[in-house]
Amino acid sequence: MVQKIVILDFGSQTTQLIGRRVRELNIYSEIIPYHKYPYGREAEEGIIGVILSGSPLSVYDKDAFRVDLDRLLGRVPVLGICYGAQLMAYSLGGAVEPAPSREYGRALLEWTDGTSPLLEGIGQGAQVWMSHGDTITRLPEGFKVIASTADVRFAAFASESQPVWGVQFHPEVFHSTCGMQLLRNFAVGICGARCDWSAESFIETTVAELRSTLGDDKVVLGLSGGVDSTVAAVLLARAIGDRLTCIFVDHGMLRLNEFHDVLAEYKKLGLNVLGVDASDKFFADLAGVTDPEKKRKIIGADFVEVFDREAHKLEGVRWLAQGTIYPDCIESLSITGTVIKSHHNVGGLPERMNLRLCEPLRLLFKDEVRAVGRALGIPDSLIGRHPFPGPGLAVRILGEVTREKVAVLQQADHIFISGLRREGLYDKVWQAGVILLPVQSVGVMGDERTYERAVALRAVTSTDAMTADWAHLPYEFLASVSNEIINKVKGVNRVCYDISSKPPATIEWE
């Protein structure tokens, strides 16, 4: 049976990070809103430990998020982090008060109990990261302090009779240099995790589950060329073979040769894939449309229509598979305690198609999807691809989208992306592309005056696309790309480089 650590979410910004860190220890973790702990023998099966997250609230607030600790403690080992630690201290009879000054950033840990299993292997003076406005001023009876910092007396504490622990700092953040060791001590040393959750074990259990859930049913899946749908398809194909049919729709706004190249790669992977060139419909419906959101809506609706039509030509399909991943599914809490669920799906397909939904990657973070993809033998040319927006080049052509503009942009984009690959820069940036601007400017080529289009190069570094910085690409490289575009792409006589970060800009221009 798969062992898991449950993280009860009290609304902290770093809750997801706790889940990630536990996964990095090859232990499966699940993030659950604080009030949804699955009490009951069957539902609790496999749970070997619980972590209580931080929160933007104060434990003494009238509307603070609370759990019934009497029901929780004693069932499994529990580690409270920041608010989680304060909640335990406060609820069990200790005291929590506003700190004289808010405590943010670096602090050095001095342990007072060198024998504590939570602190094993952590040296005196280890750096931890604090972020709290309240502080514990008295521990409940039966608890003892195991580490302090210069400003925080109860930086880490333990129950004397139960496997219950609290830390005021955030072991999950990068700057807590002993954080991984502490989480390992909890998960492995205290909870007894086997650390056997890996890409290979995920594939093995998921393939078995898919076979038993899907039986002899047929499944349809929309491929986009992106990592998530590709990995979902190969995983499903391993489970049910040709009973999976993939549909790859070409809306005409993909990169140069992408439809054919990616289709060929899919076929090499042994996928049963149907390529559908629907570009005429997309271009016709986009004619005259300049508003970015309208463009997106039209492309989304057209995609659903085309996919639905093609899927209906297949016989006996019972399931729609999607490459939805964990961050799309986590139910996160707003400060009011409302559960926010931003469940991603492809432009309303599930609602329209009346098929059962199969999402084999819904438990994985993005880098885990990549690891699974590699373990499935998917080549790096597909796994390491930059993200690319669903509406494709349509949102990189400011204003109306036409075939002629797409052709110009495809060439410029091809020069930029090939250059990044050639110079070993492709994997150093999160995402890159070219934007076709709706302006013309004067230039001179030979002895001729020109009045042609301008393009902007965009390359960003990021870890999750939520924030991004412009990539500091070498000037020589930018100069050579600019030269090549102006010399080779007819209709372009000026190249700019976008040096805006996100926020306040966004990665795409539309």
383: helix, strand or coil: helix
Instruction: State how beta strands 126-138 and 95-111 pair.
Output: antiparallel
Phi and psi dihedrals of 35, rounded to 5? -95, 10
**Element containing residue 356 per DSSP (H, E):** strand 356-358
Distances, alpha carbon 23 to alpha carbons 64, 184, 194, 368, in Å: 29, 11, 12, 9
Which CB atom, from 214 or from 397, has the smaller least distance to ligand XMP? 397
86: helix, strand or coil: helix
- Who contacts 481 (Cβ-Cβ below 8 Å, separation ≥6)? 415, 416, 419, 457, 495
CA–CA separation, 212 vs 95, rounded Å?
Answer: 51
Bridge partners (DSSP) listed for residue 158: 144, 165
CB of 497 to ligand XMP, least distance (A): 17
CB of 264 to ligand XMP, least distance (A): 23
Which CB atom, from 32 or from 388, has the smaller least distance to ligand XMP? 388
Which CB atom, from 423 or from 508, has the smaller least distance to ligand XMP? 508
CB of 468 to ligand XMP, least distance (A): 7
Closest CA to 483 of 492, 470, 474: 492
Which CB atom, from 225 or from 389, has the smaller least distance to ligand XMP? 389
Which tokens go with 54?
């931080």
Catalytic residue (choose from 82, 178, 191, 246): 82
Which CB atom, from 167 or from 232, has the smaller least distance to ligand XMP? 232
Annotated active-site residue 368? The verdict is no
Amino acid identity at 399 = G
Which CB atom, from 32 or from 465, has the smaller least distance to ligand XMP? 465
Distances, alpha carbon 169 to alpha carbons 125, 132, 396, in Å: 14, 8, 43
Would you give the DSSP letter of residue 502? Answer: B
CB of 227 to ligand XMP, least distance (A): 12
Phi and psi dihedrals of 103, rounded to 5? -115, 110
Which CB atom, from 484 or from 498, has the smaller least distance to ligand XMP? 498
CB of 465 to ligand XMP, least distance (A): 4
Which tokens go with 179?
């954080």
Bridge partners (DSSP) listed for residue 250: 277
Residues making contact with ligand XMP (CB under 6 A): 296, 387, 389-391, 395, 431, 465, 502, 506-508
CB of 467 to ligand XMP, least distance (A): 9
Catalytic residue (choose from 172, 359, 368, 510): 172
Annotated active-site residue 82? The verdict is yes
104: helix, strand or coil: strand
CA–CA separation, 318 vs 38, rounded Å?
Answer: 30
**Element containing residue 457 per DSSP (H, E):** strand 448-461
CB of 55 to ligand XMP, least distance (A): 27
Would you give the end-to-end CA distance of the chain in angstroms? 47
Q: Tell me the residue number closest to ligand XMP, measured at CB.
A: 390
CB of 292 to ligand XMP, least distance (A): 9
84: helix, strand or coil: helix
Annotated active-site residue 170? The verdict is yes
Which CB atom, from 211 or from 344, has the smaller least distance to ligand XMP? 344
446: helix, strand or coil: coil
Catalytic residue (choose from 42, 44, 103, 170): 170
Which tokens go with 378?
């998917």
Would you name the residues annotated as active-site residues? 82, 170, 172
